[in-house]
Amino acid sequence: MTTPVEPATRKRVLKVIFISLLLDLISFTFILPLFPKLLEFYRNVEAPLDPSAPPSKTLLSSVLGYLNAYKASFARPIDSRYDIVLLGGALGSLFSLLQAIASPIIGHFSDRYGRRTALLLSMTGNILSVLLWVMATDFRTFLASRIVGGLSEGNVQLATAIATDISDPSKRGSTMALIGACFSIAFTFGPALGAWLSSFSTVAANPFATAAGVSLTLIVVETLYLYFCLPETLPALTQKTEPTGTQVSSTKSEEKKPATTPTTTKSTAVQRTNSHFLLNFTHFSFLLFFSGMEFSLPFMTYDLFAYDSAKNGRLLGFVGLIASLLQGGVTRRLPPLLSVRIGVIACLLAFIMLGRITSVLGLYGAAALLATTSATVVTGLNALSSFESHEGERGGKLGMLRSWGQLGRGLGPVLFTSIYWWAGREVAYGIGALGMSWVALLVMYALKTPPGSERVRKESHVAEKKEL
């Protein structure tokens, strides 16, 4: 059997995970509100709209040419002000698709060489990515920054694997909720901080160098913090270095077992409840529709209520705040499958509302439902996947789960906005509601509750209060 993690060690590792992931996600969210102005800056330099300007043969002008051809295929005319939004969506999809490729590789690497080693290598790639952003005086360098970031970003899945390594089944859901809370806190404050930093122009050739420089500082601090404070948590590695004094009373046959026995025993002891294919497909299906709605929201708020960036920022801040409160007080106490079911039903109701709302009050009602979804579904699916994995394969399985989700996140915005502009808001959100109904059927009738995930947890609630 795997040696249980001591409470003091678990508390220390959870603290390191929380602080490092919070730094990482705040740094990551700096760029989100900057995309429109940032891409507009590169367009004005490399592909100006002025017809009297000489034609340019830059990478950005070629990309915009392809996007304009795609835009021209819509039955409804799309205003030129959406060019930058469509370009930002394309870059977001590229990042997600690169993550879909990299996540399983990073996960399997961590299963073989350790979580700490994989995380530090991932951080090296992140530093290079943000450094390229600091130096990005042209679109080509900025695109290279996004590509490097998409291929190296592994912090979330590795933090999830580490949290699983140090948590027993009764605490698995609350630990995953702690990781989810990092997302909500970061998305509440990170974008606003990034927008504020962008108002300080320190480099004329790159007006966003200040925000990029602070982002780089946070990533470097996070890397140093992980290097000095994060221990290895992969059981197959930590057990090899454990003292054997406690095994003196073992029989001779037990003493002769190979060093890999704990992992092997655990592998055969896992009682499969949900297939990984079903969990992965559920994750893909959910994010395919959810990410499409998420990306289309600024379109809809502008069309219906003439929202500008500041009002959209307040709306997203509201979503992040509600999600933080839910993850800190509710989600961490729910069984994972129940958490997923609640979130999917909330998302279905949000789709229905967004296709019909006519008031700001209705918009914020739908936003509250989206906050419930953000606080529950992905956190619950990560926990469910961890229950179906033994300790020697968790990194790979969680990486594959993330890969399927990122594939859905990469395809969703392109497909959903295409429907939005071809057929209108009501049809787009109606199709989204049908898609989310399919996901609801999966989580209600296909997914099952793993043994140990719905224990009576009075003792664990007391322990959680001490840890958090």
pLDDT digit string (tens) for the chain, length 468 residues: 456 778 888 899 999 999 999 999 999 988 887 887 888 899 888 887 666 666 678 899 888 888 888 877 776 677 666 677 778 878 888 999 999 999 999 999 999 999 999 999 999 999 999 999 999 999 999 999 999 999 999 999 999 999 989 888 777 777 887 888 888 888 888 888 888 898 888 888 899 999 999 999 999 999 999 999 999 999 888 864 444 333 333 333 333 343 343 443 344 456 778 999 999 999 999 999 999 898 888 778 888 888 876 787 788 788 988 998 898 788 888 899 999 999 999 999 999 999 999 999 999 999 999 999 999 999 999 999 988 888 778 889 999 999 999 999 999 988 888 888 788 889 999 999 999 999 999 999 999 998 766 654 444 444 444 444
Q: What are the residue ranges of helices labelled H in 114-251? A: 115-134, 139-152, 155-165, 172-197, 209-229, 235-238
Average pLDDT in the chain: 84
Q: Residue 317, Cβ neighbours under 10 Å: how many? A: 15
Q: How far apart are CA 79 and CA 333, in angstroms?
A: 47
pLDDT per position as a tens digit, 326-375: 987 888 888 999 999 999 999 999 999 999 999 999 999 999 999 999 99
Residues recorded for the chain:
468
User: Which amino acid is present at 50?
Assistant: D
pLDDT at 177: 78
Looking up tokens 């530090």, which residue turns up? 120
How far apart, in whole angstroms, are the C-alpha atoms of residue 142 and residue 205?
Answer: 13
d(CA 310, CA 312): 5
Show Cβ contacts of residue 107 under 8 Å, excluding neighbours closer than 6 positions: 154, 157, 158, 161, 395, 396, 397, 398, 399, 400, 402
From its phi and psi, is residue 452 left (phi > 0), alpha (psi between -120 and 50) or beta?
Answer: left
| DSSP annotation of 24 | H
Q: Can you tell me which residue has the tokens 């990551």?
A: 28
Three-state DSSP at 137 gives: coil
Name the residue type at position 8. A
Structural domains of the chain ordered from first start: 7-48+60-235+272-446 (1.20.1250.20)
Query: Cβ contacts of residue 307 below 8 Å, gap of 6+?
Result: 298, 301, 315
The pTM (predicted TM-score) of the whole model is 0.82
SS3 content of the chain, % helix, strand, coil (to 5): 80, 0, 20
Structure tokens at 310: 């500041």
From CA 221, how far away is CA 215, in angstroms rounded? 10
